[in-house]
A = this chain, B = another copy of it.
Amino acid sequence: MDDYLLIVDDAVADLAQDRGRLGRSSTAERVADILRDRISEGFFEPGQRLSEEAISEALGVSRNTLREAFRLLGHERLLDHRLNRGVFVRVLSAEDVADLYRVRRVLEGAAVRRLPSKRALELIAEAVDDAERAAAADDWRAVGTANIRFHQALVTANQSPRLDEAMRQLLAELRLVFHVMANPRDFHEPFVQRNRRLFDLLQDGRLDEAATFLDGYLDEAEQLLIRAYEPNR
């Protein structure tokens, strides 16, 4: 009898993990999810204006609800809200890109200087493997997403939900820029090997080397990106 009660209690206690999913569904948030996907996959181009009337009609929600979604995305810096003029898909300046890399150096740098947990190492290893597999299959779009997962996993070493969230937003913002890379292969290829190398250094606990290696890594990525980006403006 006691055993039975214990099992039930355990099962009930486990439920607490799923509590987060409960509140997670208002129309506005689902609309925001849809728009976020469209933006980060490049369906909406940076600078494009998103008409309240057109989109609310297309999605079958009211203007008020759509505006709530716009606010959410504005706070994530994916949309630019200009008073009385509407919302526009964010256009990142070269200065914005530089700032995003400054933040990356701080977030990823701090992560790399810690001894990563077993779980973090697993996540990182998966991302490295996936990137290599995708590269072998010539699927450079998949390489890109695996690469993003790699850096997201890196940050989890900080063991901070807020830093994870900040990194998620940062990478979403960066995706606004990745689309300017005409040839994704040229951009992603060099980093597949580097991800592997960085992982090896972490696994061996050679944290200082990992830190300096990461700095060079980020410097070069930033340069590549800005070089491809600046001329367009």
Contacts and interface: CB of A to CB of B under 8 A. Distances in A.
A106 B155 CA distance: 11
Contacts of A162: 99-100, 102-103, 170
Contacts of A28: 71
B72 A102 contact: no
Contact of A82 (B23, B103, B105): B23
A231 interface: no
B106 A158 contact: yes
A25 B83 contact: yes
Contact of A71 (B72, B81, B106, B109): B72
Contacts of A81: 23
Nearest to A105: B110
A31 interface: no
A87 to B, nearest CB: 12
Given A68-B67, A109-B110, A160 B99 contact: yes
Interface in A82-115: 82-83, 99-100, 102-103, 105-107, 109-110
Contacts of A159: 102
Contact of A163 (B23, B72, B103): B103
